[in-house]
Amino acid sequence: MIIATTLTKTLQLIVCLSILVTAHEFGHYLFARIFKVRVEKFYLFFNPWFSLFKYKSKSDGTEYGIGWLPFGGYVKITGMVNENLDMETLKQPPNPWEFRIKPAWNRLLIMMGGILMNFILAFFIYSVIIFKYGDSYIPIGKTPLFFNKIAHDVGFQDGDIILAANGKILTRYDDLDLFRVIDAKDVSILRGETKKKIVLPWNFRLQIMSSHMQFADYQPSRVDGLVTGGNAKKALLQIGDKITSVDGNETNSFHILVSQLSKYKNKDVQLGIIRSSKKLKIQVHVDTDGKIGVFSKAQSFFETNRYNFLQAFPAGFTLGIRKFSFYLLQLKFFFTKAGINNIGGFGAIGSQFPSSWNWLIFWNMTALLSITLGIMNLLPIPALDGGHVIFILYEIVTDCQPNEKFMKYAQIVGMILLLSILIYANGMDIFRAFFK
């Protein structure tokens, strides 16, 4: 079961990365061809020593191929200064088809092409999802929420409805608006019939991020259904039971329940239960996926807007902008202590995919990761697209091109930095898998 789940998640991750990398590199390739710059290679995945497949086009001279190392891909553009360009090549007079001889605005668009294509892909996927399934969301201004202990300590109470953060009216229970809440100085709520304002401590966001727990949930930890043959049913849990604790740890929302159960995979755990006002203790076995076979009926909280084909595209763009905005807000905490502790690699990304293939979840994940890839490539780090963009913008502003030797060595430093981050992120995945 564990092997099948791991293989399914891994396959989804590889297919997702294949789509994202192909789209990203095609963006560079497309603008290079538009501006008549020669593209020597276009590869999905890296190919040190050998390739799984390669084909050299006679019409444009480009070698198209598939590598064997599924950590990305690349296009090799003639005359582009990077860590692979030897110094002797830089000494030669440039040819008219080389990247380095093209006007700055041509080079800027070639370097931005991958990022633009990732954003376009994400907006397109969201538009198609909305056209097929509608835009489903939970209106945060109508929904009573259940809070974790950190939120309780600053004044939130179960059943509060969040209205605004720092005076800004919130519309959806999603990552963006929840982040706006924990990052706010004050939050406006509706408690019963009364509007109140909760002033948050300066480190509230850091407390929430360090706890690895969502601070609010719209689903109470109530059993609305039991999986036939599941461990909860075998342990005689009943529909309507309220689960109040897991191994003595308080839980008042379904999200916290799921999070706590995930710590006891393939173990027995004691649940605190309230059934018809009676307090019970029930022992139940948690399976290898961290589940016991209970579910909550979340559908009743959702509202769905339907769109025709033409309406779906602006709606998809709006949804994409919300995801983009959320990731930008998170990015400023990337190098904080909490951000560094939360960083993850391919294992962390793969774990977000479901254990069985679900196309709706797959395409939502692909769209979100496409936005993530686009933003990460905007970072002004040499060896990333953003590093090249900074050099070109410097040239446009000063009318002076940076020294090519300096750019080459900057690329090497950037590559070392990226490899260090990659090793650290995937090392954290391994550490969490074995020691947490």
DSSP class per residue in 212-223: TS-SEESSBSB-
Residue 240 lies in a domain: yes
3-state SS record for 153-209: HHCCCCCCEEEEECCEECCECCHHHHHHHHCCCEEEEEECCEEEEEECCCCHHHHHH
Burial class (CB within 10 angstroms; exposed 0-12, middle 13-18, buried 19+) of 154: middle
- Whether 153 and 124 map to the same domain: the answer is no
- Whether 247 and 208 map to the same domain: the answer is no
pLDDT at 357: 87
Residue 356 lies in a domain: no
Domain end: 166, 184, 217, which one?
Answer: 217
Residue 64 lies in a domain: no
> Is-contact 127 317, C-beta < 8 A?
yes
Which CATH number is 160's domain given? 2.30.42
Mean per-residue pLDDT over the chain, rounded: 88
Helices (H), 249-403: 254-261, 309-331, 337-342, 346-351, 359-378, 385-398
Flag whether pLDDT at 338 surpasses 70.
Answer: no
pLDDT at 351: 81
> Is-contact 410 387, C-beta < 8 A?
yes
With tokens 């706890």, the residue in question is 211
C-alpha distances (whole Å) from 94 to each of 69, 101, 313 are: 32, 6, 43
Q: Which of 157, 138, 137 minimizes the C-alpha distance to 146?
A: 157
Residue 330 lies in a domain: no
pLDDT, mean of residues 238-262: 87
Flag whether pLDDT at 255 surpasses 70.
Answer: yes
- Whether 188 and 281 map to the same domain: the answer is no
Residue 310 lies in a domain: no
SS3 98: coil
> CB within 8 A of 360, min separation 6: which ones?
129, 133
What secondary structure letter does DSSP report for 253? B
Flag whether pLDDT at 173 surpasses 70.
Answer: yes
Lowest mean pLDDT among 130-134, 347-351, 367-371, 430-434: 430-434
Lowest mean pLDDT among 4-18, 165-179, 182-196: 4-18
Percent of the chain with pLDDT over 90: 50
Q: How many degrees, rounded to 5, is the angle at CA 165 between CA 159 and CA 169?
A: 90
- Directed axis angle between helix 359-378 and helix 385-398, to 10°? 40
- Whether 208 and 234 map to the same domain: the answer is no
pLDDT at 128: 97
Answer with the residue of higher pLDDT: 436 or 359.
Answer: 359
Q: Which amino acid is at 103?
A: P
Q: How many domains does the chain fold into?
A: 3
d(CA 140, CA 221): 19
How does pLDDT run across 11-52, given as a tens digit for each residue? Answer: 999 999 999 999 999 999 999 999 999 999 999 888 889 889
Residue 174 lies in a domain: yes
d(CA 86, CA 404): 11
φ, ψ at 69 (rounded to 5°):
-105, 100
pLDDT at 196: 95
- Whether 32 and 90 map to the same domain: the answer is yes
How does pLDDT run across 384-404, given as a tens digit for each residue? Answer: 899 989 999 998 999 888 877
Q: How many degrees, rounded to 5, is the angle at CA 37 between CA 31 and CA 41?
A: 90
Residue 164 lies in a domain: yes
DSSP class per residue in 300-327: GG-EEE---HHHHHHHHHHHHHHHHHHH
- Whether 277 and 383 map to the same domain: the answer is no
Domain end: 217, 234, 265, which one?
Answer: 217
d(CA 29, CA 75): 7
- Whether 209 and 92 map to the same domain: the answer is no
Give residue 167's domain range. 140-217
- Whether 236 and 201 map to the same domain: the answer is no
SS3 258: helix
Domain end: 273, 296, 319, which one?
Answer: 296
Flag whether pLDDT at 116 surpasses 80.
Answer: yes
Residue 63 lies in a domain: no
State pTM to two decimals: 0.82
Q: Name the band, by pLDDT with cuts 50, 70 and 90, for residue 265.
A: confident
- Whether 195 and 120 map to the same domain: the answer is no
- Whether 15 and 103 map to the same domain: the answer is yes
